[in-house]
Every structure is written in C-alpha cells, then in structure tokens.
Amino acid sequence: MKFLYSDTQDYVDPKYDFLNDRPNPKRERYWNDAYAHELMREAPYDGLLVAMSAVRQAEGVASSKVRYSTAEEQRMLRIGARKYLRFDGPKFKDLMLMGDCGAFAYAEHPQPAYSPEEVVEFYLDAEFTHGVSPDHIIFECDLENPPASAMPEAQRRFEITLENAQEFIKLVHQEGDFFEPMGAVQGWSPQSMADAADKLVKMGYGYLAIGGLVPLKVDVIKTVLEAIRNKIGPEPRLHLLGFAKADHIHQFVRYGITSFDSTSPLIRAFKDDKANYYIENGEGGLDYYTAIRIPQALENSRLMQGVKRGSFSAEDLAKRERVALKALRDFDQERGSIQGTVDAVMDYHQFLVLGEGGDESAHAKALSKIRERVQRTLEARPWKRCDCAICEAVGVEVIIFRSSNRNKRRGFHNLGVYHRHLKRTLEHSA
C-alpha cells in the first residue's frame, strides 16, 4: 500500500538559525528551501499528490486554498511538477506523482471549478503519472442507502462527477494516454458509491479514487469499501483520497487498497494540542508526545493582545521566554533537572493560558494538565531516541512548538516515522 503526501508547498529553510530565530540571510524562498524528501535520508512517502486547486485560482476556489503564485504555477506547467517539486532525482523518479482537483476547495460552489479539458491539459503539462477525474464532493454518507430521489443535491453532484469521468477518460485517450486516469467515486451512501465505482469500471477505469471520506468515521469507510468491493470485485485498484485516519490504515488492508493520501502526520505537528510528536515504541505501535510550546513573545497573537491590553509587559514576557528556551536547551545538554526545566517552561507558558481569559480555577486546572504532559515529554526525551535526519540535525529544537521552521520539521519527522511504521505494519500483516 502506497502512502502519498499532498503537497502544499511545505518546505523549510535548511540553514535556519534557531538560536537567533532568523532565516539564513541569503535565503531565497523555495530555491534555498528543502522539501521533506530533500531534507531526509529517504522520502518519507511513496509519492506526492498535487491538488489543482492549490495551484490554480478559479471561480469557486477559496482563495486561501491557492498557495502557488502565478509565476510558480506557470513554472510548474513549463517544466513539469516532478522537476518543480525536485522529486526527480534517481531516488524519486519512479515514485508516484498524482494529480487531483482538490474538490474540497470548491465544495461550496454549484459546479466544479475546472472543466475536464482544463484538467487534462493541467495534468499533461504537469506531467503527472496519475490523474483523478474532476469530481464534485458529496459530504453526507447515509448507511441506510436512501434512493437518489431523496437526495437531489447529492444526485446532481453524483451525475456531474460521472459525466466528467466519461469525458475525462475520452480526452486522456485522445491526448495519447500520457498518464493513468483514475476515476473519482462520489456518492451519498455505500450503495451509491458502489454504483459509481461500477460505472467507472465500465467506462474503462482500472484505478478508482474514493472521495468524500474526510469527515467519515472508520466504520463507515469500511462499510463503503465493503459495498464497493462486493460490486466491482477484487481487481480494480483503489486509492483513498484525503484519508484523515492515517493511524487506522492497517485496518483497511483487507479491502485491497493500492494507495492513499494523507497530510495528517504533518498536520498533527501543528494542529494537535497534545499528540504532536510521533515515535515508534518498539512494540509495533506509536507513542505520542506533546511538543513544548514556547511561542515567540512578540509575535504570538494571544500574548500580544495581553500586552496591548496592558495585562502583561512585553519586556517581562521576552525575559521569561529566553529563560524557558535556555532551560530546555540546557536540559537537552544534561544540565539542569526535569523539575527546574518544567518550572521554567511553565513560568512562561502560564501567560498563554492567562491570555485565554476564564477564571482562576480553570487556569489552574489547565496549567496542571499541561505541566503533566510537558513533564512526560521531558522524562522520555523522545527526540534523543530518533535517528531521523531532522532530529539528528536540530536536536531539541524539533520538540519546541514555535514558528514554522520548527513545527514543519517536526511534521517531516512525523511523516518519516509514520511512513516507516506503515511499512512495518504492512509487512507484518502480509
């Protein structure tokens, strides 16, 4: 089973100065930056997925989704995505490079943002190895299998998705089959998704991409896959689009999944409150740790609001911030006790909690929970046990929750740990 990572221009400055929190003075964005597959010894994924909506502005595409500038988009389409993403060395050239439309970005819009012609042209120019037909997302999944007539909007999207798939595969053949077309499956129930899959196979698709899974629970996804496999048999390959339940993927082995894409190991490094650093526990599982939050005193909005209101002093915060950072770095160098380090970290951290408002007992409760989690991380020193290129290069900085250069590196580390863990689990179950 292949794990694909969805590119969202996640790169870091490899020469970032952590002690002064400054980028390398000669840094040119993108050119001097490094993607995860460049920074780590091996790519922490089996392929990359590029969503058209992340690259191309269009009516109905939420502008916040568009991360590529016009110049970047144009360059990608001149030289191909593989070269653009620097995913073309001998190590990577055979890995999958898949395109899809990123239907989430235009889900609110009545029509998909891109026409089949435009999508085919985009995939050809980007030189993807695989490309998903332009779909229109259906959010609900009713296990009762209601008839189409009960779901008019879902039915409309269901039909748009299938008409597009028909047109798409025709155009792909016409243009000379430069990439493998993947048929997008959308439906409002396990039954309707199985019907869609069946229709796509009849159109000539040998590889299907199951969409609309993001909000669904693990059991619901299983029911959907069960229905699809019952309908189309074991042969057609399946890809799970935007699979947010990465931690549960081993439960899906029996459905014959060829590939899936997920950003969750990286996203976890920023978004998860408690479990934002993975490490294999040596018993076939993963342990999760809390990264230690030491935000930049003069840039953190919660702290700055406190300063503007006059409840905290900026100089005082900056001093405590320095003390917390120093304590943590000293601790990493075997100088200083766990208690002393936890105290220094919490002495600064308390302002983040205070900045949230609320009463004193709520504060005390929140602080004691955070204190426990910080202490657990310090006791375990997981960054000392990891031998990935990131942890080796930056050490304790990877566990500090602070600014994108640290947080993204922690995300890269998580991707690497997840990828290796996935391979091991799959080997065991094979």
The one-character DSSP state at 194 is H
Q: Residue 255, exposed/middle/buried by CB under 10 A (0-12, 13-18, 19+)?
A: middle
Among 136, 293, 413, 421, binds Zn ion (CB under 5 A): 413
Write down the least CB distance from residue 310 to Zn ion, Å: 41
Write down the least CB distance from residue 335 to other proteins, Å: 35
| Contact between residue 5 and residue 430 where contact means Cβ atoms under 8 Å apart | no
Q: List for the chain the helix, strand, coil content (%; round to 5).
A: 50, 15, 35
Q: Which residues contact 286 (CB under 8 A, 6 or more apart)?
A: 247, 278, 279, 280, 417, 418, 421
Partner whose binding site includes residue 305, from other proteins, Zn ion, none (CB under 5 to 8 Å by kind): none
Residue 116 to residue 97: CA distance in whole angstroms: 19
Just list the catalytic residues: 100, 261
Rounded alpha-carbon distances, angstroms, from residue 330 to 176, 323, 325, 327, 396: 61, 10, 9, 5, 10
Whichever of 75 and 381 has its CB closer to other proteins, that residue is 75
Whichever of 65 and 293 has its CB closer to other proteins, that residue is 65
Which residues of this chain interact with other proteins, rule CB under 8 A?
A: 25, 56-57, 70-72, 74-75, 77-79, 115, 117-118, 121, 125
The one-character DSSP state at 345 is H
Residue 173 to residue 178: CA distance in whole angstroms: 8
Write down the least CB distance from residue 125 to other proteins, Å: 7
**Taking CB under 5 A as the rule, which mask of x and - marks residues 365-404 in contact with Zn ion?**
---------------------x-x-xx-------------
Partner whose binding site includes residue 391, from Zn ion, other proteins, none (CB under 5 to 8 Å by kind): Zn ion
Residue 142 to residue 151: CA distance in whole angstroms: 10
Question: Which of 391, 379, 384 lies closest to 415 in space, CA to CA?
Answer: 391
Helix 264-271 and helix 403-429, axial crossing angle in degrees, nearest 10? 140
Partner whose binding site includes residue 154, from Zn ion, other proteins, none (CB under 5 to 8 Å by kind): none
Residue 307 to residue 311: CA distance in whole angstroms: 6
Partner whose binding site includes residue 310, from Zn ion, other proteins, none (CB under 5 to 8 Å by kind): none
Partner whose binding site includes residue 388, from Zn ion, other proteins, none (CB under 5 to 8 Å by kind): Zn ion
**Secondary element (H or E) of residue 339:** helix 338-354
Whichever of 32 and 251 has its CB closer to other proteins, that residue is 32
Whichever of 72 and 180 has its CB closer to other proteins, that residue is 72
Listed in sequence order, the DSSP H helices in 88-183 are 116-126, 152-175
**Secondary element (H or E) of residue 374:** helix 360-380
Whichever of 329 and 413 has its CB closer to Zn ion, that residue is 413
Q: Which two tokens stand for residue 93?
A: 């050239």
Of 263-271, 324-332, 368-376, 412-420, the segment contacting Zn ion by CB under 5 A is 412-420
Partner whose binding site includes residue 34, from other proteins, Zn ion, none (CB under 5 to 8 Å by kind): none
Sign of CA dihedral 390, 393, 395, 400: negative
Residue 14 to residue 429: CA distance in whole angstroms: 37
Whichever of 17 and 117 has its CB closer to other proteins, that residue is 117
Whichever of 109 and 222 has its CB closer to other proteins, that residue is 109
Partner whose binding site includes residue 423, from Zn ion, other proteins, none (CB under 5 to 8 Å by kind): none
Residue with tokens 């076939």: 284
| Contact between residue 321 and residue 304 where contact means Cβ atoms under 8 Å apart | no
Partner whose binding site includes residue 297, from Zn ion, other proteins, none (CB under 5 to 8 Å by kind): none
Write down the least CB distance from residue 329 to Zn ion, Å: 18
Write down the least CB distance from residue 386 to Zn ion, Å: 3
Whichever of 78 and 271 has its CB closer to other proteins, that residue is 78
Write down the least CB distance from residue 184 to other proteins, Å: 20
Q: Interface with Zn ion by CB under 5 A: which residues? A: 386, 388, 390-391, 413
